Every structure is written in structure tokens, then in C-alpha cells.
Structure 1
Amino acid sequence: MAAIFVHVSDIHFGQERDHVVHIHDDVKKELISDAAEVIAGLGSGATKGILVTGDIAFSGKAEQYVAAGKWLDTLAEGIGCPIHRVQMIPGNHDMDRDKLSVGGSKLLDFIRAGGAAEYEKVIANYDDRATLFSRFEQYGRFCIGYNCGLDLEAKYATNLRIEVGPNRWLRFVRLNSSLLCHGEERDDQPELVMGERQFVIPRYAGEENVVLAHHPLNWYKDAEDVRQYVRSRARVFISGHEHDPKVDIDRVEKDCDVMMLAAGAAVPFRSNDTYTFTYNILEFDWDDVTDNLVVTIHPRAWNPLKTCFEADDRRLGGREPRFTLGSPNFKKVCSAPTAAAKEEHVGVSDSAAEPNVEMVPAEGVETSPGELVPMPPDAEGYELALLRFFRDLYESERLKILVELDALPAKSNERMNQGLERRLFDWLVRDGRLPDINSMIDRLIGERKERDV
């Protein structure tokens, strides 16, 4: 049974001006209805989540993420997946350019004048990194609730994998290609750098990587180095930014392929024949005969005459959207699945639960100097509570919960930040206090609503 995801990119919450807001709001509403109808008609597979390849917001402001969160909740409910099951990465519009300091501008100029060595010199310095990451403050507050927090050491991030066959997994790897953006970058004279610390992505027997990055490879100064690792370590590379849907299968060698999937924009700045409203429904499955990954793309595009989404037979494979990708890491598993294992996997996948979705340790993710994120607590309802705690509460409300539940040590002199909040939240969950957290979240949100009446 396939693992189904709705893939959206470049939604640009906050870009609407004047009368255009009505059209864009209508398109977003139609996208939800269309996705629900298409998935219901597939007949086989389970909806596992939503993939967002950047530019959730238009200018990285808090109110834009409030609107995005409400829309993502409605989309998740419409397609039948948990509202917290979203994998996201930042785009160039997810940074607040108003926060770029004079010092930050000098850092970007230094890197643009150089290359990978200059990038590493800046990123290796904690204070310089903090200057660049400060522009993603509101995005950071938003994404951490979805357990997709930014890696503050500018490394790759990965903490979710999906089982598509017996001992055959897809691991989602998130890259931040927007850290060096300033608003004037171009692809014909690349200025962005992905950086070795980020593109050296993991490789495990039995796992194939699906890499999410906002910018396609041609936007990086170190594109050839990035491409070398993508071709050898990834099975699917999904990007956004250019608003022009494309798919290409890179035949790396015998029994080894990479799908390069470039998304269109769910809500581009303007809609025409080239840059119209688009999104995708993706099915990831396992071919038990060839032991390969199968990706089926259902591209959807806006029909301006019918004012609705419909199947796009011109882009991303059109009428033949099924791709079988040579998957060498599947074949590295000690032994091929037995007939009994295949049968057992089918039975598990058909169940109503989600046994084939697994949170894994957030490798290398640093939330404050020297502090790594441990394995999330294994508690029912943890992910939903995490989302509500970080996305739906004000900072003062989160602090109130931590204080009232005695999570803050009496003599603590540590500066409060998202990393510390997350560690204290996880400590409370491990201590069996999740019901107390949920109760306080409900109470605080209720009190706020009463005050606003």
C-alpha cells in the first residue's frame, strides 16, 4: 500500500494585495477540496502527511504563519492525516528581510565574494550564524511545532521515516538553501552555498532518502559538490522556488536512479499559462519484484475557464506519472523479504493505525550551543501537543506552563530560548505530565478567547 503525501510549495501567505486576495483565498480553498477528492478516488494507499518545499509566507511575518497554520490544519483534516504530520523547509520568502543588520549584510557580501571556504568560516562562528538565522525568527517559531526545527549549526535535519515495504524505509531529509538569501540572488550568477556540513546527508541500509530543498541545484555555487552527494545518497530530490514544474530521472548507474522533482507554486505572484496555480499528490511505494522505490506523481493545475484544479497532463509525467527508481540502499538489507514478510507488511499497512510512521532521533540538530535534541518521548499525543504548545501559544503562555508545572529549576540562570523550551517540554512529557500540559493549553487558549470577546 502506497504512502500518500500532498506536496505544496510557494504558497506565499501574505502576498495578497487589494482584490487579488479573493482569488488567492478561493484557490487555496479549492486546493483542499480537490486534494480530498483525488485522494478519495485513488482507492489504495494511506495519506501520511503534507510536504511543503518552502515559501510558506511572503515576508516571514508572524501573522502570515498564523494564517498558514489554519490552512494547513484544514488541508490535513480534508485529506485525512494528522495535522502535525507536515515536513517543511524554509524558502527565501520565509525570512524577514527587515531583520538583516549591517553586520549581516557584510557577512553575506563576504560569502558572495568568496565561496565554500568563506561560507564555512562564517557558519563555523556561533555569533555569525545567529546573525543570519535571526531573519528566520518567525519561521523558526512556526516550524518547531511541526518537529521540523531549523538546525542552528546549518546542518541537514532529519527526524521522520516511513516504511514502504518490509524493512524498506523512506527517510525525509530537510536542507535549508535559503540561509544566504538577500532578495536579489539569481541563478545565472549563483551566490548561494549549500555547504558541506549540510549536503553530506546520511546513508543507511534499507533506507532511501527523500531530500527537500527550496532551491534547485543550479542556484548554488557549490552545485557540483551538492549534486555528487545527491546522486549517490538520495533517491528523490524535491525543490520549489522556480514555480515551473519539472521532473527528470537521473540514471546514475545500473540499478541507481535519482528523481529530480521541481515543484510549481501553489500560489504564484501571478497566474498565466506558464506560472499557474499547481500542486502535487505523491505516492511512494515499494516494488516487491525489483526491490525498488516507486513514485507516482499526480500533478494538479488550475483551469482558469472552469476555475478549479484538474489533472495536469503536460507536466511531471502527465498521463504516465509512475516512475520506478533503482534503489541500491533497499538492496543492502541483509536478506530479501520472505513471502511471509511481504504478506505481513500488506496486512499492517491496511490497518487503520500508523505503524509504518516512525520518529527518529534528530541527527545533529543543535537548538542551543552544545545542546543536541534527544529522541522525542514515546507518548501518545506527543506530536499534537508539541504543535499546540509552540504554534498556538504565546511565549508568555508557554513560560506559564513551564513555571506552573515546575519544569524550570529554581536556581536556573539559563537564558530562555526555543531549545530550552523544547528540552523542558520533553522532560515534562517523560515525567508523565502530558495530560497536565494539554489541560493547561486548553485553559490558556480558553482564557485568551474570553478576554478577546
Structure 2
Amino acid sequence: MHLSDLHFGRGANWERQRVLGEDLLRKLSTLRTERDVDLLFITGDIAFAGRSGDYEQATKFVESIRSALHLAVERIFVVPGNHDIDRTVSPTGLAQVRKDIEGQTPASLPKVLTAATANIIPRQAAYRAWVRDTLKRPTLVATDTTGYRETLELSGRPFPVQVIGLDTAWLSGGDDDHERLALNRARLGELLHDDDGHPLPGLRLGLCHHPFSWLRDGRECENLARDHLQILFRGHLHQPELAVQFSPGLTPLKCVTAGALFEPSGGDMNYAGFELVDLELDLTGRPVQAQIHFWGWRGDFWAPDNHVYPNAANGLVEWKWGS
């Protein structure tokens, strides 16, 4: 299951409860009787202002989803979004880092980003505390600002599942973030290889909040991701989207973007949705086909949704590799 942009801390509680309450949980419980859900991906903006009170609200919701899906906490994976940053913390430090990265080349940028980590991480303090102490997922709290990698062994699968969570949001500062963010290509390369420098085996899934086009080093990071990730799950756009990123001579990268799960009335969108993704894999973990089930809020209830892809009967899109 893939969802994004929950925005806890924004909007009236009654409205949020109406959208994310009993009908959603009832539908998920029914879906759980039809299929096993192996993983829950939340690709950022759990909160709205990156403060501890926002995450207190989010905890109850995530636990209710986990319970409805009969999912162990170890199967939950999250990455931060731009609203998981407390923008009141260290604005001067952020301004200095943004100034420092101006004019840097792809070769020099990673060193500058690494040096900036200690001054910027406190802006994510509430998010990191929530993931580590409340969600009980300390391995998802990276020691730097690039991300994490976790390897899973799923029952009945003769290959490992690699989940690589990327923090595209750490340099977020407002609504003018386009091309002012960065990831750190050198550290990304480490996450996408084993300790001996070899490509990771098995199924390789990436999570991030922003499209790579929002990053100063986005082209370099995207080219690297194409060669090593099979699917990238992301958020931020507030509309669901399936995209294939092409570049001559490189492996295409399939990207699955979730719509915002909740945005209050009067917000910048009027769609709420999530996705269920069923993967057919070969014996090495390579994807053969994906079935993406789009679900949307219809004003009074949740249902299969085809408003983005009108030809998707019952909200189902089939995506074959090599096509």
C-alpha cells in the first residue's frame, strides 16, 4: 500500500475523521481478506508543520492502518516531506547552506552537502523522534540526510527485497523549493550498492517525496537510480501519476506517485487517494508486471477511482516491464 501527504495538523479534525475514519478502515479490512499486504509506504508530509503535536495525531491513524492490514511494524516504511520540516528552526543555517551550494559542480556538491548535515538535521527533530521512538522504526532514521536502506526476506520469496528511503526534503524552506533541494549523489551511490561496491540483489524499491526534477543534483541522482531501482514511489504532487523516466542509453525508471491522502476543504486540491500495488516478479525479484489499484474519496465514501486514468476500469492499471 502506498500513500502520501497526510498533512496532520492542518484542517478540522471532524473533516479529517470523515475522510480517514471508519469507511477507509472498513474498506482496508475488506481488501485485506482478498490479498495480503506486504508493505506500507508513506512518502512524506505526515505532518503539516513538522512539530511534535502533528505526529501525535498521525500515530493513531498509522496504527489503525497497520491494524486493518494486519501488518507488522517492521513492514512500515516512511520518508520525510517538505511539511515534515520545522521551518522555524535554523532559518539562518538553511540560508547559508543554500548559498554554499550555489555554483557547485556535480563533483564538488557532495562534499558541501555532507558538511552541512549537522546544522540542518535539527529541523527534522520532531519527525525523527516520531519515527525512532513512537513508530519504533529506528533503522529508518538515517545518520545523515540522504536516507536509509533496509533488506527484507519475505516468506516464499527466493530473493531479498531492498527498500531504499531517500530524504529529498532536508533542505526544504518554503514554497520556492524547486531546484533548491539536493540529495547527495555520492551517498546515494553507497545506498544502491553493497559494501563491496556491487549492485544490490533482488527487488529494489525506492521511496522519496519530491520528483528528482526538484533537486539541484536531480539529473545525476536520477541517472544513478535508473540503473539500480526498479520502482520509485513518491508523493508531493497531490495527484496520482504513473511515469516512466527515460534517458538515451539508460534503463527507464518507473515512478508511482500517490495523490494526497488528505487535504482540507479550501486546500490546493480536492482529491484524496491512495494506491495498492500488486507486483508479479520473476525468480530473481525482477518485476514482470504491476497492477496498480487507484482508490479515491468520493465525497462520502472510498471507492476504486479512475479520474486520472479514465480507461482504468475499476481504478486498475496494468503496467508491464519492457513496455
**Per-residue deviation, 1:52:** 0.3
The question of 1:263 aligning with 2:258 is answered yes
**Per-residue deviation, 1:114:** 4.4
Q: 1:33 to 1:254 in 2, by over 3 A?
A: farther
Deviation digits for residues 373-412 of structure 1, max 9, x if unmatched?
xxxxxxxxxxxxxxxxxxxxxxxxxxxxxxxxxxxxxxxx
- Map of 1:210 onto structure 2: 205
Say which is worse superposed, 316-325 or 227-236, in terms of deviation.
Answer: 316-325
Contact 1:112 1:191 in 2 (8 A): no
- Map of 2:147 onto structure 1: 156
Q: 1:148 to 1:92 in 2, by over 3 A?
A: farther
**Selected match of 1:172 from 133, 157, 163:** 163
- Give the Cα separation in 2 of the matches to 1:102 and 1:274: 32
**Selected match of 2:70 from 76, 80, 105:** 80
The residue identity in structure 2 corresponding to 1:169 is P
TM-score by length of 1: 0.62
Contact 1:248 1:259 in 2 (8 A): yes
The residue identity in structure 2 corresponding to 1:196 is R
- Give the Cα separation in 2 of the matches to 1:72 and 1:264: 17
Q: 1:229 to 1:273 in 2, by over 3 A?
A: same
Contact 2:38 2:71 in 1 (8 A): yes
- Map of 2:30 onto structure 1: 37
The residue identity in structure 1 corresponding to 2:4 is S
Q: 1:78 to 1:89 in 2, by over 3 A?
A: same
- Give the Cα separation in 2 of the matches to 1:101 and 1:222: 22
**Per-residue deviation, 1:311:** 0.5
The question of 1:25 aligning with 2:20 is answered no
Paired residues for 1:203-242 under 5 Å: 203=193, 204=199, 206-242=201-237
Q: Which runs of 5+ in 2 are unaligned?
A: 194-198
- Give the Cα separation in 2 of the matches to 1:253 and 1:39: 41
SS of match in other structure, 2:141:
coil
- Give the Cα separation in 2 of the matches to 1:265 and 1:54: 10
- Give the Cα separation in 2 of the matches to 1:96 and 1:289: 42
Deviation digits for residues 249-283 of structure 1, max 9, x if unmatched?
45779996532111110012547896411111122
**Per-residue deviation, 1:11:** 0.1
Say which is worse superposed, 87-96 or 62-71, in terms of deviation.
Answer: 62-71
Contact 2:98 2:180 in 1 (8 A): no
Q: 1:273 to 1:315 in 2, by over 3 A?
A: farther
SS of match in other structure, 1:321:
strand
**Bigger Rg over Cα:** 1
Q: 1:171 to 1:270 in 2, by over 3 A?
A: farther
RMSD: 3.0
- Map of 1:46 onto structure 2: 36
**Per-residue deviation, 1:141:** 0.8
The question of 1:143 aligning with 2:131 is answered yes
Q: 1:296 to 1:272 in 2, by over 3 A?
A: farther
Paired residues for 1:177-192 under 5 Å: 177-187=168-178, 190-192=179-181
**Per-residue deviation, 1:213:** 0.6
The question of 1:318 aligning with 2:312 is answered yes
**Selected match of 1:107 from 89, 97, 110:** 97
Q: Which runs of 5+ in 1 are unaligned?
A: 1-5, 327-453
Deviation digits for residues 117-139 of structure 1, max 9, x if unmatched?
664343332xx311101100111
- Give the Cα separation in 2 of the matches to 1:241 and 1:9: 8
Contact 2:32 2:68 in 1 (8 A): no
Paired residues for 1:268-417 under 5 Å: 268-270=263-265, 275-287=270-282, 292-304=287-299, 307-315=300-308, 318-319=312-313, 320-325=316-321
**Selected match of 1:194 from 180, 183, 186:** 183
TM-score by length of 2: 0.84
**Per-residue deviation, 1:301:** 0.8
Say which is worse superposed, 171-180 or 286-295, in terms of deviation.
Answer: 286-295
- Give the Cα separation in 2 of the matches to 1:113 and 1:25: 47
The residue identity in structure 2 corresponding to 1:318 is A
SS of match in other structure, 2:39:
strand
Higher helix fraction (1 or 2): 1
Q: 1:123 to 1:150 in 2, by over 3 A?
A: farther
Contact 1:11 1:268 in 2 (8 A): yes
Contact 2:230 2:287 in 1 (8 A): no
